[in-house]
Structure 1
Amino acid sequence: MGARIAAVDYYLPEAVLSNEDLSREFPEWSVEKISGKTGIDRRHISGPDEFSSDLAIAAARRLFERDGIDPQSIDYVILCTQSPDYYLPSTACIVQDALGIPTSAGATDITLGCSGYIYALGLAKGLIESGQAAKVLVVTADTYTKFINPADKSVRTIFGDGAAATLVTADGSDTSLTAMTYGTDGSGGKSLIVPNGGLRAGAALQPKADTAVRELVASGYDLYMDGPDIFNFTLRVVPETVEEILAKAQLEQNDIDLFVFHQANAFMLEHLRKKLKVPAEKFFVSLAESGNTVSSTIPIALADAERQGALVPGMRVMLLGFGVGLSWGGLVATW
Structure 2
Amino acid sequence: MSERNAGLLGCGYQLPRRVRRNNDPVFQCLDTSRNAQGIYQSVLFRDLDRRHCLGPDESITDLVTGSCRRTLDSAGVAAEDVDRLYGYVSVPEYHAPNALYQVHHDLGLGPEAMVVPINTEQANFLSGMVHAAEAVRSGSATYCLVACGSNWSQHIDYSQGHSTCIGDGAGATLIGPSDRFVVIDHGTRANTSYYRAATMATRPLTVHSRRQLPVDGTGMPVPTLELNQSGVEVVSSWIKDGIPELVNRILARHDIRGDQITLITYQSVRILLDHWAERIGPKTYVDTLAEFGHMISATYPVNLAHVFDCVATEYLVIAGVSLGMQLEAVLLQV
TM-score between both structures, scaled by the size of structure 2: 0.83
Distance 2:143 2:328 in 1: 22
2:176 maps to: 169
Task: Name the aligned partner's letter for residue 23 of structure 2.
Answer: E
SS in 1 for 2:146: strand
Shift of 1:106: 0.7
Shift of 1:255: 5.8
Residues 79 and 252 from structure 1, CA distance in 2 versus in 1: closer, same or farther, beyond 3 angstroms? closer
Q: Is the 8 A contact 1:256 1:318 kept in 2?
A: no
Residues 265 and 7 from structure 1, CA distance in 2 versus in 1: closer, same or farther, beyond 3 angstroms? farther
Distance 1:107 1:236 in 2: 35
* Residues 58-84 of structure 1: CA deviation (Å, up to 9, x unaligned): 211222344443111111101224422
Give the aligned length.
Answer: 312
2:213 maps to: 218
Shift of 1:236: 2.6
Task: Name the aligned partner's letter for residue 276 of structure 2.
Answer: L
SS in 1 for 2:328: strand
Task: Name the aligned partner's letter for residue 78 of structure 1.
Answer: Y
Please give the residue correspondences for 1:130-169 in structure 2 after superposition, counting only pairs within 5 Å: 130-149=138-157, 151-169=158-176
Distance 2:75 2:43 in 1: 34
Shift of 1:164: 0.3
Distance 1:214 1:244 in 2: 47
Unaligned ranges ≥5, structure 1: 198-209
Distance 1:282 1:73 in 2: 34
1:3 maps to: 6
Residues 75 and 231 from structure 1, CA distance in 2 versus in 1: closer, same or farther, beyond 3 angstroms? same
Task: Name the aligned partner's letter for residue 152 of structure 1.
Answer: S
2:15 maps to: 12
Please give the residue correspondences for 1:76-91 in structure 2 after superposition, counting only pairs within 5 Å: 76-91=84-99
Distance 2:83 2:295 in 1: 27
Please give the residue correspondences for 1:208-247 in structure 2 after superposition, counting only pairs within 5 Å: 211=205, 217-219=212-214, 220-225=222-227, 226-247=231-252
Unaligned ranges ≥5, structure 2: 33-40, 215-221
Task: Name the aligned partner's letter for residue 266 of structure 1.
Answer: R
Shift of 1:28: 8.6
Q: Is the 8 A contact 2:171 2:301 kept in 1?
A: yes
Task: Name the aligned partner's letter for residue 322 of structure 1.
Answer: V
Matched, 1:192 2:236: no
* Residues 6-25 of structure 1: CA deviation (Å, up to 9, x unaligned): 11111111122111215872
Q: Cα RMSD over matched residues?
A: 2.9
* Residues 143-183 of structure 1: CA deviation (Å, up to 9, x unaligned): 1112112x42412201111110101011369x821121112
1:207 maps to: none
Residues 325 and 50 from structure 1, CA distance in 2 versus in 1: closer, same or farther, beyond 3 angstroms? farther
SS in 2 for 1:167: strand
Identity %: 22
TM-score between both structures, scaled by the size of structure 1: 0.83
Aligned match for 1:116, one of 124, 127, 143: 124
Residues 190 and 171 from structure 1, CA distance in 2 versus in 1: closer, same or farther, beyond 3 angstroms? same
